[in-house]
Structure 1
Amino acid sequence: MSLKGKVAVVTGAAAGIGKAFSEILFRNGAKVVLLDVNADAGRTLMEALNKEDGQERALFLSCDVQSEEQLKAAFKTTADTFGGIDILCNNAGILNEDDWQLTVAINLVGVIKGTYAALEHMSKLNGGQGGVVVTTASMAGIKPLLSCPVYSATKSAVIGFSRAMASASSVVGFGIRFNALCPALVQTELLASLSAKLGQFTILEEATRQLMDKHGVLSASEVAECLLELVTDESKNGEALMVSPKGKMYAAFPSIQMDLK
């Protein structure tokens, strides 16, 4: 799948992994719509990308993934502006074990809301062109992080959601591939503020730091390279791609195809 001329929407696009996603998609020829609650950072990134090649291929829209109304409005504006949607990166996420309900609202419910809103424009059943949805999960969704049980639970849930959606798409004909990207610890603001976000599990901070020292930390650009693989390789559907400083591998799950006989 070539990205030239494709339309990609990235949530949590203004910084960290989302920024790296936006940059790599843009530099490979896609039109990129940046969704974020940080308007200043979002507009700055939009202007920087558009300045790179002198074309207006990047667009920033203020959007909170907790709001179904804002998501639907953002996707409609995207479709009206660029003619459709081909790629969705469900990337917005937080880590906050103290405010665990907010973590669930953004990391899980926000992903579901965003995916369903995108289906209205992407699904071939609705007149869309199909495409691919990649959700930023985490290695913690496969190997739970001891100090972050709610964060781990949300990331495990979005892996399951992505795989179920992949199976549903294959059966009913959405024409959309669904994959999950599962990085290990990544050098972002989320990681930098980890100690303040562990709530009652602050007592496990040292154990978490030891894991970081043992396994290392990824850069956002390394994660973005893996996103490119999941987006462009049309054989990838229902996959969970794990990436760490030691390399990458696909998680071994049973087939997503349900025996309907």
Structure 2
Amino acid sequence: MSLKGKVAVVTGAAAGIGKAFCEILFRNGAKVVLLDVNPEAGKSVMEALNKEDGQDRALFLSCDVRSEEQLKAAFKMAADTFGGIDIVCNNAGVLDEKEWELTLDINLVGVIKGTYAAMEHMSKLNGGRGGVIVNTASIAGIRPLVCCPVYSASKSAVIHFARAMAGASTLVGYGIRFNAICPALVQTDLLDGLNSKLGQFAALKQPTQQLIEKHGVLSPSDVAECLLELVTDESKNGEALMVTSQAKTYTPFTSIPIITLDL
């Protein structure tokens, strides 16, 4: 799948992994719509991208993924501006075991709301042209972190939501591929402030250090390279790909098959 002329929407796009996603999609020819709650940082990324080739292929829209209304408005604006939507990266996420309801609301409910808002424009059943949706999960969704039980639960749910949606799409005919990307720890603001977000599990921070020692710390660009594979390889559907910095490899998460029922 060539990205030239494709339209991509990325949530949590103003920094970290989301910013790296926008950059790699843009530099491979896509038009990119950046959604974030930080207007200053989001507009800065947009302006930097548009300056690269002198074309207005990047657009920033202020959007909180907890708001179904804001998501629907943002996706409509993206489709109206660029003529449709082909790629969605549900990337916005937080880690806060003290504010665990917020963690679930952004990491899981926000992904579901974003997916359903995107499908209104992408699904072939609605007159869309299909495409691919990639949800940002985590290694914690495959190998739970004892110091982050709610975060781990949210990311595990994101993986299975993506895989179940992939099966539904195949059966019903949405024309959309669904995948999840599961990086080990990434050098972002989330990692920098990790210890202050563990709440009642602060005494268990040592396993996180062991995870770093075993798998290393990824850069956002490492994760973006994985995203590119999931987006462009049309054989990838229902995949949850784990990536660590150790060997720079993508490991499929296939221990639980997708169960489909004949309609």
Mapping of residues 185-196 of structure 1, within 5 Å: 185-196=185-196
| Aligned 8 A contact 2:187 2:220 in 1 | yes
> What's the CA shift string for 1:138-170, capped at 9, x where partnerless?
010010011000000000001010011000000
Q: Deviation of residue 90 (structure 1)?
A: 0.3
Question: Structure 2-normalised TM-score?
Answer: 0.97
SS at match of 2:18: helix
Amino acid at match of 2:255: F
Which residue in 2 is equivalent to 1:211?
Answer: 211
| Aligned 8 A contact 2:33 2:59 in 1 | yes
Runs of 4+ in 1 over 2 A off after TM superposition: 253-257
Identity of aligned residues (%): 75
Q: Deviation of residue 254 (structure 1)?
A: 4.2
Which residue in 2 is equivalent to 1:145?
Answer: 145
Deviates more, 1:194-203 or 1:205-214: 205-214
Q: Partners in 1 of 2:35 and 2:61 — Cα distance? A: 5
SS at match of 2:8: strand
| Aligned 8 A contact 2:3 2:29 in 1 | yes
Which residue in 2 is equivalent to 1:242?
Answer: 242
Q: Deviation of residue 214 (structure 1)?
A: 3.0
SS at match of 1:25: helix
Q: Deviation of residue 252 (structure 1)?
A: 1.7
Amino acid at match of 2:113: K
> What's the CA shift string for 1:81-139, capped at 9, x where partnerless?
00000000000000000000000000000000000000100000000000000000001
Which residue in 2 is equivalent to 1:66?
Answer: 66
Which residue in 1 is equivalent to 2:104?
Answer: 104
Q: Deviation of residue 255 (structure 1)?
A: 3.8
Which residue in 1 is equivalent to 2:260?
Answer: 258
Which residue in 1 is equivalent to 2:29?
Answer: 29
Q: Partners in 1 of 2:164 and 2:192 — Cα distance? A: 33
Mapping of residues 105-120 of structure 1, within 5 Å: 105-120=105-120
SS at match of 1:241: strand
Amino acid at match of 1:253: S
Q: Deviation of residue 212 (structure 1)?
A: 1.4
Amino acid at match of 1:204: L
Q: Partners in 2 of 1:234 and 1:259 — Cα distance? A: 23
SS at match of 1:41: helix
Unaligned stretches of 5+ in structure 1? none
1:177 aligns with 2:186: no
| Aligned 8 A contact 2:145 2:207 in 1 | no
1:124 aligns with 2:124: yes
1:154 aligns with 2:147: no
Which residue in 1 is equivalent to 2:225?
Answer: 225
Amino acid at match of 1:151: Y
Deviates more, 1:135-144 or 1:214-223: 214-223
Q: Deviation of residue 219 (structure 1)?
A: 0.6
Q: Deviation of residue 259 (structure 1)?
A: 4.2
Q: Partners in 2 of 1:89 and 1:208 — Cα distance? A: 26
Count of residue pairs brought into register by the alignment: 261
Amino acid at match of 2:167: S
Deviates more, 1:146-155 or 1:204-213: 204-213
Q: Partners in 1 of 2:130 and 2:256 — Cα distance? A: 25
1:15 aligns with 2:15: yes
Mapping of residues 55-94 of structure 1, within 5 Å: 55-94=55-94
Q: Partners in 1 of 2:82 and 2:214 — Cα distance? A: 45
| Aligned 8 A contact 2:94 2:107 in 1 | yes
